[in-house]
Structure 1
Amino acid sequence: MPHISLESHLPGITGLLEYSKETAQPIRELTQFLLRGPSSLTEAERELIATVVSHGNECVFCTTAHTAAADLLAGETQTAQKVKENISTAPVSQKMKALLTIAALTRQSGKSVTAEHIEEAKVAGATDVEIHDTVLIASLFCLYNRYVDGLGTALPENPAYYLTLADRLVNHGYTRLPNGYDHLKK
């Protein structure tokens, strides 16, 4: 049961973003830019960063949503699962392993990221922009995870909701649907 009155047909972050459209707008714009805007990191790789951070923060809604989006973008379901289990043995490039490690460390504390971690990422081929964006995405998802769990948002009743949400995130992005979310009412 959410700690504040939210629309019952909108689980997780969607209900919070609809609750306060004014504060939601800049957050949505930043998320859209970071996860769907121009980048040398693929959209799937950026979703993996969101997945690793959300998983580490034990945010069930965000972990499940971004795992589903990463899976849809990648066209398979193994990589996100393996990344959540163990970054160092996951089937991703050395550069992504280094960036995902930085994301996981950022989740713990920004001060956990050391010059050695940055150097490892650079040696593996990461650019300064990719390192910057990784830390910013990780920080943003810490905000989202705490927002979702701090206000006790509901999980969807039907797990298939996450597949629909992943499709929306992949094909529409992080902006608000033009006609809102009334179509999700039962």
Structure 2
Amino acid sequence: MPQPDHVSALGAPAANSLDEDIQEVFRKCVDKLGFVPNVLAAYSLRPNKLRNFMAMYNELMLAPSGLSKLEREMIAVVVSSANHCYYCLVAHGQAVRALSGDPQLGEMMVMNYRVAQLDPRQRAMLDFAWKLTKTPEQVTEDDRQALREVGLSVEDIFDLADTVAFYNMSNRMAIGTDMIPNAEYHGMNRPEPFMPPAKA
């Protein structure tokens, strides 16, 4: 059964009606991915907000950090799992598959990250991301100390909290406007046929 085929419940302007800088971003997306992610198309309804969204995303997800790109994507998926955000689970679940080369890890992050055999650092980060999303008023110094004990610096903890906060905002925008992920994401980075690794 196909998913709904709209970009968002609020629609999106025609790409050729947008400012040249945004059209250039869209062209780069098509060159790299083969499509324009629907989140960008949806945000183009408010072009300055799209520019700010892209700048924040690029700083959080692509700039140097003690958190790896894969770890940042895992955080995005765990936050989105807590919030049941369909758009972000599909889009960032695909990013986890792509960066890890492991389709099973992507599925575990989407469904229940606690199933995954993660190292203590990753487990602590994702536990913090879940708690900050589900019960933020319960986060205390003990939670930050747990992150220090697995090797996170103060800058890493800042980046972790910043990433969690961004995806909580992003999830609520996606849910509030009924953004639908590009259908292409579903089939990306899934080996065909997929066979689970042999047991040692």
Scaled to the shorter chain, the TM-score interval is: 0.7 to 0.9
Query: 2:154 aligned to 116, 125, 128, which one?
Result: 128
RMSD: 2.4
For residue 163 of structure 1, report the CA deviation from its aligned partner: 5.5
Amino acid at match of 1:30: M
After superposition, residues 109-120 of structure 1 pair within 5 angstroms as 109-120=135-146
| Conservation of the 8 A alpha-carbon contact between 2:79 and 2:130 | yes
For structure 1, the 5+ residue unaligned runs are 167-186
Mapped partners of 1:61, 1:111: distance in 2: 26
Query: 2:9 aligned to 3, 12, 15, which one?
Result: 3
SS at match of 1:96: helix
After superposition, residues 61-140 of structure 1 pair within 5 angstroms as 61-140=87-166
Q: Per-residue CA shift, 1:12-43, capped at 9, x if unaligned?
A: 42222222120111221111111111012110
SS at match of 1:160: helix
For residue 88 of structure 1, report the CA deviation from its aligned partner: 4.1
Say whether 1:29 aligns with 2:35: no
Q: Per-residue CA shift, 1:156-184, capped at 9, x if unaligned?
A: 4xx334566x8xxxxxxxxxxxxxxxxxx
For residue 99 of structure 1, report the CA deviation from its aligned partner: 0.9
Say whether 1:160 aligns with 2:184: yes
For residue 52 of structure 1, report the CA deviation from its aligned partner: 0.4
Q: Assess, with a 3 A threshold, how the Cα gap between structure 1 residues 99 and 161 changes in structure 2: closer, same or farther.
A: closer
Q: Assess, with a 3 A threshold, how the Cα gap between structure 1 residues 7 and 134 changes in structure 2: closer, same or farther.
A: same
For residue 110 of structure 1, report the CA deviation from its aligned partner: 2.8
Q: Per-residue CA shift, 1:109-134, capped at 9, x if unaligned?
A: 43232222111111111111111111
Query: 1:51 aligned to 77, 88, 91, which one?
Result: 77
Amino acid at match of 1:18: S
TM-score, structure 2 length as denominator?
0.72
Mapped partners of 2:106, 2:138: distance in 1: 23
| Conservation of the 8 A alpha-carbon contact between 2:81 and 2:111 | no
TM-score, structure 1 length as denominator?
0.77
| Conservation of the 8 A alpha-carbon contact between 1:87 and 1:101 | no
Amino acid at match of 1:113: V
Mapped partners of 1:126, 1:86: distance in 2: 23
For residue 85 of structure 1, report the CA deviation from its aligned partner: 4.1
Higher mean alpha-carbon deviation, 78-87 vs 26-35, is at: 78-87
Report the number of matched residues: 163
Q: Per-residue CA shift, 1:44-97, capped at 9, x if unaligned?
A: 111000010011110111111001011101111122323344444422221111
SS at match of 2:44: helix
Identity within the alignment, %? 22
Amino acid at match of 2:74: L
